[in-house]
A = this chain, B = another copy of it.
Amino acid sequence: MNPITVLLVDDHLVVRSGLKALLGTQPDIQVVAEAASGEEALVQTEQLSPAVVVMDLAMGAGMDGIEAIKQLRRRDSRQAVLVFTTYDSDADIVRAVDAGAMGYLLKDAAPEEIFSAIRGAVQGKSVMSAPVASRLFQQLRNPDEILTPREAELLSLLIEGLSNRELGRRLFISEATVKTHLAHIYAKLGVETRAAAIATAIRREGMR
C-alpha cells in the first residue's frame, strides 16, 4: 500500500523539520513537500496533490492559514487539511472548522495523536486534540453558553442595530467597556466585525 503523502505548511523551518523527522518514523506516512506560506502551500498542493496538508494558522507574512484553507476548499481539491497550531483560541477553532479543516491539533499533542490524526484524515475522519474538541462542542451545542451573561445581554441589543454609544447608554456603561465586551464577543463568535456578529447571532436561531 502506498504511503500517505503529506505537505507541511509552517513559516518556521524548525517546526517543519521537527515535524518531518517525527513523521519520518512512520513507514506509512511520507512528507512530500514543505511550504513556508499560504501562497506556497497552494502552489505545492496544486503540483503534488498530497493526501493531507498539515498547516499552521499563524503565518508570518502574506496569506494566513485560514485563508489558505478556504482557497484550497474553493478549488475543491480532495486534500484533507489538518490544522497544527500553538493556540486553541475559540475564534481560531471555529474559523478553521468553518473554512473546512478536517482536524485541529495543538503543537503539544502526543506524537501518536498526530499520526492517528493524519491516518484518520485520509479516511474522512475528523480528529482534534481533546481541549480543542471540548471547546468546539461547547460552541456547537449552545454558542451562548460560552458568552458571559453580560456579553449575551450586549449581543441581544447589538442585533437590534444599536451603535456603541447607544449600547453604552442602554447598559449604563462607558463606550470603552462596550468595545471591550464586543471584542470578546467577536472572538467567541469567530467573527471580526459587528456586521458579521449580527448575521451570525441572528442565524444561530433563537436570537430573533
Contacts and interface: CB of A to CB of B under 8 A. Distances in A.
Contact of A195 (B194, B200, B203, B208): B194
Interface stretch (A69-77, A136-144, A155-163): A155-163
Interface of chain A, main secondary structure: helix
22 contacts: A158-B195, A159-B199, A160-B196, A160-B199, A161-B191, A161-B193, A161-B195, A161-B196, A161-B197, A161-B198, A161-B199, A161-B200, A163-B193, A163-B195, A194-B195, A195-B195, A198-B198, A198-B199, A199-B202, A202-B202, A202-B208, A203-B208
Contacts of A208: 202-203
A174 to B, nearest CB: 20
Contacts of A199: 159-161, 198, 202
A63 B75 CA distance: 54
Interface of A: 158-163, 191, 193-200, 202-203, 208
A137 B19 CA distance: 65
A206 to B, nearest CB: 13
B200 A203 contact: no
Nearest to A191: B161
Contact of A202 (B194, B197, B203): B203
- The 8 tightest CB contacts between A and B, nearest first, are A161-B196, A161-B199, A161-B195, A202-B202, A198-B198, A194-B195, A159-B199, A195-B198
A195 B158 CA distance: 8
Query: Which of A191, A199, A203 counts the most chain B CB atoms within 10 A?
Result: A199
Contacts of A159: 199
